[in-house]
């Protein structure tokens, strides 16, 4: 690969987004040039005043007044131009970052679930929020300051040479020294800065983990210990931040000192020239002004290495995210068949990681309207089958066919409308209950939402909430019980009226009474739908037309409840082991053992 310059790497994701702002950028460039020129004319102007009107035999006060007004005008102009330039630049930078963020989010939303297995939410959040911010800094700090710095330096050198070539050349001797020093300090500061960010990351990570796991921390009574660990992280962050500040101040003060020394040397040597009359006082004054301004841009430019460094890392991460190809892709011109709900799994295998099959040689034909239950021990691959039917993951081999068409040939949107799933882990969003159920689609009427809630038996508890359907849920809906969340999620799926309905442990968290309500609801809503139900409880699956038993990556048994019990195979074993206790069996067990078995799960 051809080695690219760091600046090019940093700017690469920005370039396409900069195109629409070409005119704005040209304006910014012109404004920067304007500001620099206006700034640097000022010492020259003072020199003119001194040489023409002050240090002459007959000083001219009206001339001084005119020049003072001009000087004031320049100062105000510089102020105005700088303000305008900053404003245009900030606005352009923020618009570009906004566009990148929107595209990033769109791209990430289109990625397959496998991407989210590999990347933690923390990493993705950093990518969308901070990495784009680093690009903004690249734009508003690096670009503007470097341009301004370089242009200032060139112009100062020009002015100095115009004033006095010999003194100018002496001054330029300082340049390598200052550059060397800036390089040394920046290297040091950059290393410390990266440590600061690393430690900040640790602190944030620790905090995030603790906040989401607060219940565990409290139940294990670890508050003191966690506080101590938090203190340690805070302290180490503080130490490195202080160190960074110390080095920065040292650098800043040394450059200032160097500037002062240069001025002292200048006054010493050039002062003689003024006394001897070979140099005007105005020129000396102007040189003092320019040397002061000479160090500023070098400082500024060397400080830009930090935003540049962050931007390179950020750009790399953003480009990588953009390069992630959605693994679940829609083929061109995909058309959905007439949806009836017939599903065929033909020699299906799935490995989340190469070499570790989770499903192998699964063959299953499900008729439209059939009700199929899935049972098997934890980790047997039940949810994984549903991941394939919903096309959250693609099969490693074989095919999933719905209504005569391989689901890879379906338009994704149509497929996801046809197949509804109530997942094991319920996700709700911050917003009202009603909006969660209709998924923020206001065109879905309130009546329809209520109907779905009544159907699944969710209405009684919703009406108990402070504002009923309009009660606002927090991000993870922690104010609701697990069973209540499941009911909401069930109602949410029904709103979209899917032909194929998948319930993955949808009754696991419900008490027996609510489960019965839901059982009835399932019977009602299953009319005209294909139903796939995963359950650990026998009561949930025993009425299904067929039950599939999964074990060690395969379907090992199929048949109705009675047939399977007669076979005395895996299903019978599960049944015996108590994993699939039905209500009657549980009640009799409770009676026999005298243990209160109110907790529903077997």
Contact footprint for Mg ion (CB under 5 A): 383, 424
Stretch that binds ligand ATP, among 141-149, 225-233, 376-384, 584-592 (CB under 6 A): 376-384
Per CB under 6 A, 5 contacts ligand ATP: no
Q: Tally Cβ neighbours within 10 Å of residue 518.
A: 24
Q: Which is nearer to ligand ATP, 143 or 380 (CB)?
A: 380
Per CB under 6 A, 80 contacts ligand ATP: no
Stretch that binds ligand ATP, among 216-224, 304-312, 325-333, 380-388 (CB under 6 A): 380-388
Torsion, CA 113, CA 119, CA 122, CA 128, rounded to 10: -80
558, β-bridge pairs: 548
Q: Tally Cβ neighbours within 10 Å of residue 496.
A: 15
Q: Tally Cβ neighbours within 10 Å of residue 364.
A: 18
Residue 439 Cβ vs Mg ion, minimum distance, rounded to whole Å: 23
Per CB under 6 A, 382 contacts ligand ATP: yes
Per CB under 6 A, 507 contacts ligand ATP: no
> Which among Mg ion, ligand ATP, none contacts residue 384 (Cβ within 5 to 8 A by kind)?
ligand ATP
Distance CA 117, CA 587 (A): 41
Distance CA 283, CA 51 (A): 8
Torsion, CA 27, CA 29, CA 31, CA 32, rounded to 10: 160
Using CB under 6 A, which of 94, 117, 245, 482 touches ligand ATP?
117
Residue 354 Cβ vs ligand ATP, minimum distance, rounded to whole Å: 11
Q: Which is nearer to ligand ATP, 300 or 551 (CB)?
A: 551
> Which among Mg ion, ligand ATP, none contacts residue 379 (Cβ within 5 to 8 A by kind)?
ligand ATP
Q: Are 310 and 132 in contact (CB under 8 A)?
A: no
Locate 311 and state its tokens: 């931007």
Q: Which is nearer to Mg ion, 174 or 502 (CB)?
A: 502
Q: Are 207 and 183 in contact (CB under 8 A)?
A: no
User: Sign of the CA dihedral 71, 77, 79, 85?
Assistant: negative
Residue 601 Cβ vs Mg ion, minimum distance, rounded to whole Å: 14
Per CB under 6 A, 593 contacts ligand ATP: no
Q: Are 532 and 505 in contact (CB under 8 A)?
A: no
Q: Are 92 and 25 in contact (CB under 8 A)?
A: yes
- Contacts with 401 (C-beta within 8 Å, 6 or more apart), sequence order: 343, 344, 345, 346, 407
Q: Which is nearer to ligand ATP, 61 or 378 (CB)?
A: 378
Using CB under 6 A, which of 259, 341, 381, 483 touches ligand ATP?
381
Number of residues near ligand ATP (by CB under 6 A): 12
Stretch that binds ligand ATP, among 99-107, 241-249, 378-386, 512-520 (CB under 6 A): 378-386
In angstroms and rounded to an integer, the radius of gyration of the C-alpha atoms of the chain is 36
Per CB under 6 A, 111 contacts ligand ATP: no
Q: Are 101 and 314 in contact (CB under 8 A)?
A: no
Per CB under 6 A, 115 contacts ligand ATP: no
At residue 5, φ and ψ (nearest 5 deg) are: -70, 145
At residue 78, φ and ψ (nearest 5 deg) are: -60, -40
Q: Are 97 and 133 in contact (CB under 8 A)?
A: yes
Residue 378 Cβ vs Mg ion, minimum distance, rounded to whole Å: 8
Locate 109 and state its tokens: 């939303």
Pick out residues in 417-436 that bind ligand ATP (CB under 6 A). 424
Per CB under 6 A, 230 contacts ligand ATP: no
356, β-bridge pairs: 353
Distance CA 357, CA 552 (A): 10
CA atoms within 13 A on the CB side of 468: 8
Residue 490 Cβ vs ligand ATP, minimum distance, rounded to whole Å: 17
Q: Which is nearer to ligand ATP, 132 or 387 (CB)?
A: 387
Q: Which is nearer to ligand ATP, 28 or 426 (CB)?
A: 426
> Which among ligand ATP, Mg ion, none contacts residue 236 (Cβ within 5 to 8 A by kind)?
none
Per CB under 6 A, 533 contacts ligand ATP: no
Residue 504 Cβ vs ligand ATP, minimum distance, rounded to whole Å: 7
> Which among Mg ion, ligand ATP, none contacts residue 13 (Cβ within 5 to 8 A by kind)?
none
- Contact set with ligand ATP (CB under 6 A): 117, 352, 358, 376, 378-384, 424
């Amino acid at each position: 690969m051809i080695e690219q310059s760091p600046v090019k790497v940093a700017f690469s994701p920005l370039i396409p987004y900069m195109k629409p702002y070409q005119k704005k950028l040209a304006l910014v460039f012109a404004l920067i040039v304007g500001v620099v020129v206006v700034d640097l004319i000022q010492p020259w102007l003072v020199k003119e005043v001194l040489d023409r009107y002050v240090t002459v035999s007959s000083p001219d006060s009206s001339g001084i007044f005119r020049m003072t007004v001009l000087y004031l005008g320049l100062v105000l102009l510089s102020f105005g131009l700088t303000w305008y330039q900053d404003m245009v630049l900030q606005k352009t930078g923020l618009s570009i970052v906004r566009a990148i963020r929107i595209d990033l989010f769109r791209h990430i939303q289109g990625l397959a679930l496998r991407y989210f297995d590999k990347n933690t939410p923390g990493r993705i959040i950093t990518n969308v929020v901070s990495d784009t911010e680093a690009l903004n800094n690249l734009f508003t700090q690096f670009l503007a300051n470097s341009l301004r710095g370089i242009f200032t330096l060139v112009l100062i050198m020009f002015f100095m040479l115009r004033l006095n070539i010999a003194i100018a050349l002496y001054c330029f001797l300082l340049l390598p020294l200052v550059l060397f020093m800036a390089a040394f300090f920046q290297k040091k500061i950059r290393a410390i800065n990266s440590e600061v960010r690393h430690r900040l990351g640790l602190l944030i990570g620790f905090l995030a983990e603790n906040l989401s796991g607060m219940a565990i921390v409290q139940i294990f009574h670890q508050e003191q210990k966690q506080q101590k660990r938090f203190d340690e992280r805070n302290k180490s962050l503080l130490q490195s931040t202080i160190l960074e500040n110390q080095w920065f101040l040292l650098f800043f003060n040394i450059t200032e000192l160097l500037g002062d020394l240069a001025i002292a040397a200048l006054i010493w040597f050039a002062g003689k020239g003024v006394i001897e009359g070979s140099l005007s006082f105005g020129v000396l004054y102007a040189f003092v002004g320019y040397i002061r301004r000479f160090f500023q841009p070098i400082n500024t430019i060397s400080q830009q290495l930090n935003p540049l460094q962050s931007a390179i890392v950020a750009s790399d991460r953003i480009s990588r995210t953009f390069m992630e190809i959605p693994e679940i892709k829609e083929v061109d011109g995909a058309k959905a068949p007439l949806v009836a709900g017939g599903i065929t799994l033909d020699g299906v295998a799935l490995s989340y990681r190469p070499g570790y099959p989770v499903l192998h040689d699964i063959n299953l034909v499900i008729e439209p309207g059939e009700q199929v239950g899935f049972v098997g021990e934890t980790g047997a691959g039940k949810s994984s089958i549903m991941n394939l039917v919903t096309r959250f993951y693609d099969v490693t081999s074989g095919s999933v066919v719905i209504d005569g068409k391989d689901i890879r040939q379906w338009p994704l949107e149509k497929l996801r409308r046809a197949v509804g799933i109530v997942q094991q882990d319920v996700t709700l969003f911050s917003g009202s209950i009603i909006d969660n159920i209709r998924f923020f689609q206001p065109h879905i009427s309130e009546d329809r939402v209520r109907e779905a809630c009544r159907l699944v038996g969710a209405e009684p508890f919703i009406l108990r909430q402070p504002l009923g359907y309009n009660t606002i849920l927090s991000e993870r809906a922690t104010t609701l019980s697990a069973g209540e969340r499941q009911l909401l999620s069930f109602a949410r799926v029904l709103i979209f009226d899917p032909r194929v309905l998948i319930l993955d442990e949808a009754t696991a968290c419900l008490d027996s009474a609510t489960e019965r309500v839901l059982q009835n609801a399932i019977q009602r809503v299953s009319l005209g739908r294909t139903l796939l139900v995963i359950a650990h409880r026998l009561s949930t699956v025993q009425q299904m037309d067929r039950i599939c038993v999964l074990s060690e990556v395969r379907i090992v048994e199929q048949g109705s409840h009675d047939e399977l019990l007669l076979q005395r195979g895996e299903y019978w074993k599960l049944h015996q082991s108590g994993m699939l206790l039905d209500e009657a069996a549980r009640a009799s067990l409770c009676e026999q053992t005298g243990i209160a078995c109110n907790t529903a799960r077997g």
